[in-house]
Amino acid sequence: MKRDFTLVTDFSRQEILELFRRAGQLKSETHAGIAHPLLQGHNLAMLFQKPSTRTRVSFEVAMNQLGGHALYLSPAEVGLGQRESVADVARVLSRYCTAIMARVFGHDIIVQLAAHAAVPVINGLSDLAHPCQVLGDLFTVIERKGDRDDLKVAFVGDGNNVANSWINLASIWPVSLTLSTPPDYSPDAGIIERARAGEGGRIHITEDPHEAVRGADVIYTDVWASMGQEDEAAERQRVFADYRVDRDLLKSADPDCLVMHCLPAHRGQEITDDVIDGPHSVVFDQAENRLHIQKAILLKLLVD
């Protein structure tokens, strides 16, 4: 029976630990120049409504290094829900390819693709969630900090899809997660409610970024205006001015804290140059680890 990966919670904690073990092995082998054609004969259809650097390149390289093939399908070529219904696209691609990855605006498109595709569907990003990103992030944290039950993570800025996915993760993982957002920019209320009913870590919400990062092992931020919010950019710069990750904010965190950003970064807005390029930053480790965790996800869905 096929499985999809649309939200972090589609996998159990034990399954995520297995993904991390495999990602670590694949990473070591990649660095050593060792390749295994485990996905030979497999084809990944990559549907894009939003432009991408890391998502496209990491999935395409992952398929190539595992012996498979990836096909990039642009918005103009497919026209999801306009030129052709989402359901019909899912059915057709299922006849050609062994998996579908989609990077879209509305999360309902991911849900429809998963419902109608006969092959696994992977959420490469939707307005609601970015599960591949957050699994790569946690993999990066565990590389540096180990698999600890007392991990403190602070998310500062917009309550966007990445924030939502960290909340999803906290519902199944023993992490203390504090989110600091301005009023009216909180993460999805339904995701928060479901996560607090779960068996994972603790979730806190505050408007004070200094309170959020106090003693934090990880400080995470993202752009203040995501794709599709360009007309709000000027207003968001005003509203989020006190939520910048800079040296002053780091003083409230653990001295050995990690600073994370999923990229692309608007330097000087949500994060300063001296922090993203400084000794606490693991931003480019995160970016690399997208490749390794996505290899593990693909193998989980297509081979296991």
22, 236, 290, 292: the active-site residue = 290
4, 158, 217, 222: the active-site residue = 222
290 carries an active-site annotation: yes
Question: Does residue 29 sit in the same domain as residue 141?
Answer: no
Element (H, E) at 92: helix 86-96
3 carries an active-site annotation: no
pLDDT tens track, the chain, 304 positions = 899 999 999 999 999 999 999 999 999 999 999 999 999 999 999 999 998 999 999 999 999 999 999 999 998 888 887 889 999 999 999 999 999 999 999 999 999 999 999 999 999 999 999 999 999 999 999 999 999 989 999 999 999 999 999 999 999 999 999 999 999 999 999 999 998 887 777 999 999 999 999 999 999 999 998 767 778 788 999 999 999 999 999 999 999 999 999 999 999 999 999 999 999 999 999 999 999 999 999 999 999 9
112 carries an active-site annotation: no
∠ CA 181-254-148, rounded to 5°: 90
State the pTM of this model. 0.96
The CATH number covering residue 295 comes to 3.40.50.1370
69 carries an active-site annotation: no
Do 90 and 117 contact (CB within 8 A), yes or no?
yes
22, 130, 280, 292: the active-site residue = 130
Residue 1 inside a domain? The answer is no
137, 261, 262, 286: the active-site residue = 262
Question: Does residue 93 sit in the same domain as residue 199?
Answer: no
Nearest by Cα to 254 from 135, 150, 167, 182: 150
65, 133, 269, 286: the active-site residue = 133
103 carries an active-site annotation: yes
Instruction: List the domain range (segments joined by +) for residue 80.
Output: 8-130+287-302
Question: Does residue 91 sit in the same domain as residue 187?
Answer: no
65 carries an active-site annotation: no
Residue 36 inside a domain? The answer is yes
103, 107, 261, 292: the active-site residue = 103
Domain count, the chain: 2
Q: Is the peptide bond before 264 cis (omega within 30 degrees of 0)?
A: yes
Question: Does residue 142 sit in the same domain as residue 57?
Answer: no
